[in-house]
Amino acid sequence: MNKAVILFALPAFLYAFTGSIPATASDIQPEQNTRLLAHDVTVPSNINAQQMVVTAHPLATKAALDTLNQGGNAADAAIAAQLVLGLVEPQSSGLGGGAFALYFNAKSRKLYNLDARETAPQSAKEDMFLDANGQPLDFFTASTSKNSIGLPGVPSLLFTLNQKFGDKSRWPDLFTPAISYAQNGFAVTPRLADSVAQYQNRLKKNHALPYFTKTDGSLIQSGDILRNAQYAETLSNYRDIGPKFITPHYRIKSRPNLCATYRMHYTICSMGEPSSGGLTLLYILRLLDGFDLGSTPNAEAYHLYLEASKLAFADRNHYMADPDFVDTPGKALIHPEYLNVRRALISVEHAQEYTYGHPKNWRGKYPPRHVGPDEGGTTHISIIDKYGNAISMTSSIEMAFGSGYMKDGYFLNNQLTDFSFIPEKDGIKVANRAEAGKRPRSSMSPTIVFDNNHAPIMVIGSAGGSRIIGYVAQRLIAMIDWGYSAEQALNMPAILTRGASVEVEQNFPRALETILRAKGHNIIRKDLNSGLTAIKKSAATYEGAADPRREGIAIGQ
């Protein structure tokens, strides 16, 4: 068996180790094993169901639905799904990453906001991403270094979900699907094969490429069968010992719920800081609540949505950070009085540039952080069970394959590069600078929408870095204002802005683009790698949809 020796000085919570890459060339088989192929998963229905599961991979969706059918609830199903995703979609999430989760308990009718974001180790310093000359490191160097690795939160989150909301006796059973696929093998999907090819330098630098290399020296291809014996062993230990086996010092944080009304009949709840996602998302929607967006997609509505997004991002970039370390305005940014002031800046005729505002009675002052590169290491799970429990969970290792370091069969994140590389600007400390124990700002936006009876009627979230906010906001507008189904909303061409240019997908209507350009919008056509999953209630049943840009599926019964 080929061995890959990995020796490096990690923060205190991750010891230096010498280990074998969990699957070697001899473990990768080109023959087809139809029992384990993703495309052979039976899809009973994605509409007219009493319970619904949507994930980014068919095997994860199947594991979650099987858990529901065996008596588990939404919390248990999410655990089973995430454990499988860490194996079959290792470029996106896993035990070496973090997550945010919203969980609605139907029995108590309470919503819980769980923060499992990675934290900086005690050795973290605000200048750790600066070179000897005090200049920011290039991103590849920074994101593949030991300094990029934060203390993972996923192991503690999954255990907390089961112990607090799930069936405690079911905990061992939730590991069975992932362990089985790890031991027996799973079929490599086109997206995984493409990710390995695209990010092979990251994997090679930190000695993880042998896992994806065949005996002839070539990289895995779609349809190859891949096994991961070390991941199976890790899961067995995690199952028997609990999260202390992986991250003994990590603590989940319960954050205040972040909710706001939209169009009178809907209450939209998302993740609060240290994620900027929920606050920015609600900022956009609350600004738009003062406008009629019509009943179908139109240029005037998109113009208003883009202007609202620019206003929201101006404040997001300036103010938002970990509230345990920085006194941020928080909900003051979506206070009606402040939003009225910001809304008045919007012209219905012309696109404009905006700077950050000044919420009433706010005296803080922080310069903006850097804008990081595109992220590929994120996934989202949406589940509603037959009891009415709902979970919206976004998990991530940041870049595709995170730091590129592989430990015990899973990849370690590079989330600490979500901190500002520059700790000080114009003599003022940057809000999102690195500090020991701090959680870097995120854009993950797990969201649950409630009706006037306080019942969950939509669950949605996405992958995509800071674009997540736009991906989710546009689809909520489509489902609420324009009456789109979940599938219609996720299939529509994306349009978003983070403050400067407007990004649209290649199939965005040319006629709408012409009108928006005439209003002054700088539009760029490009491929946008969203990773949406969504559930929408129609009458007494649910319909779900997975992003057609990825490989996930929705299954309901």
Q: How far apart are the first and last CA of the chain?
A: 44
Alpha-carbon span 290 to 375, nearest angstrom: 33
Cα dist from 203 to 21, 121, 168, 219, 531, whole Å: 12, 23, 37, 12, 22
Cα dist from 146 to 9, 125, 212, 548, whole Å: 7, 13, 22, 35
Cα dist from 516 to 332, 470, 472, 475, 512, whole Å: 31, 17, 21, 19, 6
Alpha-carbon span 280 to 315, nearest angstrom: 8
Written as tens digits, the pLDDT of the chain (557 aa) is: 332 322 223 333 343 322 333 343 335 544 333 333 444 455 556 777 899 999 999 999 999 999 999 999 999 999 999 999 999 999 999 999 999 999 999 999 999 999 999 999 999 999 999 999 999 999 999 999 999 999 999 999 999 999 999 999 999 999 999 999 999 999 999 999 999 999 999 999 999 999 999 999 999 999 999 999 999 999 999 999 999 999 999 999 999 999 999 999 999 999 999 999 999 999 999 999 999 999 999 999 999 999 999 999 999 998 998 999 988 999 999 999 999 999 999 999 999 999 999 998 777 655 444 344 444 579 999 999 999 999 999 999 999 999 999 999 999 999 999 999 999 888 888 888 999 999 999 999 999 999 999 999 999 999 999 999 999 999 999 999 999 999 999 999 999 999 989 999 999 999 999 999 999 999 999 999 999 999 999 888 999 999 999 999 999 99
Domain of 111, CATH number, reads 3.60.20.40
Give the structural domain span for 216: 25-253+371-548
Alpha-carbon span 271 to 32, nearest angstrom: 41
Residue for token pair 């009973």: 44
326 found inside a domain: no
Predicted TM-score (pTM) of this structure: 0.92
> What is residue 270's three-state secondary structure?
strand
Question: Can you give the C-alpha Rg of the chain in angstroms?
Answer: 22
- Nearest of 171, 177, 183 to residue 231 by alpha carbon: 183
89 found inside a domain: yes
284 found inside a domain: no
* Number of residues assigned to the chain: 557
> What is residue 138's three-state secondary structure?
coil
- Beta strands 186-187 and 110-116 are unpaired
Ramachandran angles phi, psi of 376, nearest 5°: -120, -5
What is the count of structural domains for the chain?
1
> What is residue 63's three-state secondary structure?
helix
pLDDT value at residue 370: 38
121 found inside a domain: yes
> What is residue 274's three-state secondary structure?
coil
448 found inside a domain: yes
Transcribe 281-300 into DSSP letters: HHHHHHHHTTS---SS--HH
Alpha-carbon span 135 to 14, nearest angstrom: 27
Beta partners for 379?
Answer: 395
pLDDT value at residue 364: 65
Transcribe 30-64 into DSSP letters: -S--GGG-GGGS----SSSBSSEEEESSHHHHHHH
Alpha-carbon span 252 to 255, nearest angstrom: 10
Residue for token pair 């362990």: 179
pLDDT value at residue 327: 85
Alpha-carbon span 543 to 80, nearest angstrom: 21
Q: Which two tokens stand for residue 70?
A: 């065996």
Beta partners for 130?
Answer: 136
Q: Are 158 and 165 in contact (CB under 8 A)?
A: no
- Nearest of 364, 288, 368 to residue 329 by alpha carbon: 364
282 found inside a domain: no
Beta strand segments in 316-430, E = 377-384, 390-398, 406-407, 410-411, 424-425, 428-429
- Nearest of 148, 146, 145, 172 to residue 158 by alpha carbon: 172
439 found inside a domain: yes
335 found inside a domain: no
